[in-house]
Amino acid sequence: MTKGFTDTTKTAPGTTEPRECEGAACGRDGTAGRARDLAAAGSRLCPNCRLRLTHDLQRLPRLHDECGRLLTGTDRPRDRTSGGPLPGMPFNTAAADARSAIVGLLRSWAALVIEERGVGAPRDTPPQLAALLLVHLGWLASHPAAGELSDEVSRCVRLARQVIDPAPRRRVPVGDCVVPGCRGVLLAAARSGSTAGTVEVGCDADPEHRWSGQEWLRRGGGAQERREPAVRWMTARDIALLWGIAPGSVYRRASEDRWRRRTRGGRTYYHEQDIHASLGVRT
């Protein structure tokens, strides 16, 4: 996959002092009480998170292709017949969303490498874009946005896998967590054919924020507990365009200023108030 690219620089400049790993496998927010490992020297990722990131980047082109085979027809690749999907079968929007998330992620991070390292752009295909990132993985692992890359790639892989081989328990986003101060997203989980009584609504950030389907309905879907005004969440590409700065600068400021973030569909979104605090209000 890496043929045609040459990595000329080992790592980006960084501190030599030990730091906690920022990778997905270590849990960047310290969730579930898990202590994060120390990052490798000159990197922001521990060896385990870097290896996981390598494997996930290698998987993305294949997952993109597998989701492509699901755009029409049955829910699983192994269920497809040799004759292809039958006429009139519905379009698989989940597979399309997963493919779009993979392409968007690869393009975004490839653009960062091309811009900051001054390398030539590869062909605009998932295999070539992933190959570029793999060649420059050492530099990316030491970049201020290394943790975000690890998180986004991990979530993208998980999203595609859920489309290809969905778990028996479906999880559907139902909104932001209603507990004051919590930044999590609420997911309604239920097995196929289950009734409202067996549905469970839980927060992806705190396992203590959880209700049964009946409790959730009695609470009015959390509408009574929402007190904070709605805020906008913006992608790095949106921020770069609106403020006229390079995508690399966006990732760096987000890391240095600790912008609040949330990831959906394999893409990271940043809190508008934190953006304005760092970059100034822009009309």
pLDDT at 193: 44
Render 30-75 in DSSP notation, one character per residue: -GGGPPPPBPPTT-SS-HHHHHHHHHHHHHHHHHHHHHHTTSBS-S
Q: Is residue 2 part of a domain?
A: no
pLDDT number for residue 131:
96
Report the C-alpha gap between 280 and 283 in whole angstroms: 10
Could you tell me if 56 and 151 lie in one domain? yes
What is the pTM assigned to this prediction? 0.55
Q: Give yes or no: residues 38 and 158 share one domain.
A: yes
Q: Is residue 6 a part of any domain in this protein?
A: no
Return all residues near 112 (Cβ < 8 A) that are at least 6 apart: 143, 145, 247, 248, 251
Looking at residue 121, what DSSP letter applies?
Answer: P
The verdict on residue 241 lying in a domain is yes
52 in a structural domain: yes
Per-residue pLDDT, 224: 41
Amino acid occupying residue 180: P
**Interatomic CA distance for residues 133 and 7, integer angstroms:** 10
Domain boundary among 184, 209, 225: 225
Residue 280 pLDDT: 77
Give Cα separations from 45 to 96, 144, 267 (angstroms): 31, 11, 20
Judge if 40 and 130 occupy the same domain. yes
203's tokens: 């927060």
Q: What is the pLDDT of residue 199?
A: 64
Structural domain range at position 76: 24-164
**Same domain, residue pair 28 and 159:** yes
Residues 86 and 141 occupy one common structural domain: yes
Residues 103 and 151 in one domain: yes
Domain-embedded: residue 19: no
Same domain, 70 and 196: no
Is residue 18 domain-resident? no
Q: Which of 142, 66, 144, 53 minimizes the C-alpha distance to 105?
A: 53
Tokens 């390398």, residue located: 119
pLDDT mean values, one per 10 residues, the chain (283 residues): 44 58 70 67 88 92 91 51 46 88 94 93 94 95 92 91 70 75 75 49 75 63 49 80 81 87 80 84 54
Same domain, 139 and 70: yes
Verify that 221 and 177 share a domain, yes or no.
Answer: yes
Both 28 and 156 in one domain: the answer is yes
| Structure letter (DSSP) for residue 91 | B
What is the total count of domains within the chain? Answer: 3
Claim to verify: residue 158 and residue 206 sit in the same structural domain? no
- Has residue 155 been placed in a domain? yes
In a domain, 4, yes or no: no
| Residues 29 and 156 grouped into a single domain | yes
